[in-house]
Structure 1
Amino acid sequence: MTKRAESKYKINRRLGVNLWGRAKSPVNKREYGPGQHGQRRKNKPTDFGVQLMAKQKLKGYYGNIGEKQFRKYYEEAVRRKGDTSENLIELLERRLDCVVYRMKLAVTPFAARQFVNHGHVLVNGKRLNIASYIVKDGDQIEVKEKSKQLTMVLDAAQSGERDVPEYIEVDHRAMRGRFVRAPKVSDVPYPVQMEPNLVVEFYSR
């Protein structure tokens, strides 16, 4: 397990929110930040601070994507026609690891990324181990036959922590599903408020 995955709940405490809406989150018991200075009183954030926090929340939610890669998503969102913040969310939601997470085939985005990287997922019948692969409308996503009885997959599918959004179809008996369409920001079931418009403001300074 990577150091980043091991410390995923530090992201929650640093941001002060239960980012994935999980019962295990330490924020449920300790709403202050990690470390010896975590309980220090915070000053009112600046506009820059608010924008930075919005970016860190969005990056963290999708498995703590690296800054270089996240900025590429922003640049691609700007290049496309339409609302940049909507385009940014669409690109993030089309990531293969995110689709696996949305299908409830993994408990967390970190587990979904590892699941894809280890070659357990088929896209249109072909094994794909690139977590950042951009899924297209109508693509069929399926768990490899030998992996369908893995405890982590069965536990995730039966979890009542979250529901499968409308823009994804899934059959948990067959462990397969389909990416139906691109979501709008309002379609995405974030447990906390996300503000992609502030992320756009942060990068366009």
Structure 2
Amino acid sequence: MDTILKTENIRKTYESSSVKVNALNGIDLEFAKGRFYSVIGRSGSGKSTLLYILSGLDQPTEGKVCFEGKDLSEYSDGEMAIFRRRHMGFVFQQYNLMEEYNVLENICMPVKLDQRKPDPEFLHTVLETLGLEDKQKKYASELSGGEQQRVAIARSILSKPKIIFADEPTGNLDKKTALETLELLIESAKKFGQTLIMVTHDLEVARMSEVVITIEDGRVIG
């Protein structure tokens, strides 16, 4: 297996004045390049916490996450922000589009933040793949939920990340739009050779992945 991401004994504990919550309890996982994984589990099982730690958006209390052999904890916050922009894409349940920018500007935002210019040929391919060529000048308020999520997917792909993390990406969509959007996400990740790691509570959505990881009480049970 050509491993891109690996966790070793990941534990995450949240403490308040009165209570200690163990969100993750010793997670060991390996993710191969170019494969589609779904992480399922009931609400509060730790699946979203795991996704945030895998992507370096949160730090584990114990254990480590290695991306192509490099321990993510060795990066400073600034270095990690740059690393995420260049190597990771994100799709969330909330589309997180910037209302004051049009579709094209939203899609190009991460690349521009990195002070780079989008690859015009690749941009055209992404727009074509996700059916957004005729939507470039529109604003978020003029789009349906499915269209907004396709813009979010395009934005996540444009910087040519090695991994796309998706947290309940179809949670705000009706069933038909959800499945169509997910098919586009899978198709584009495959087309561009990206690893896709998706958190979902929907078993029908999870069955579309190559590997299903089941989390319960902060542990991998299957």
Could you tell me the TM-score, scaled by structure 2's length?
0.23
More RCO (CA 8 Å, sep 6+): 2
Could you tell me the TM-score, scaled by structure 1's length?
0.24
More strand by share: 2
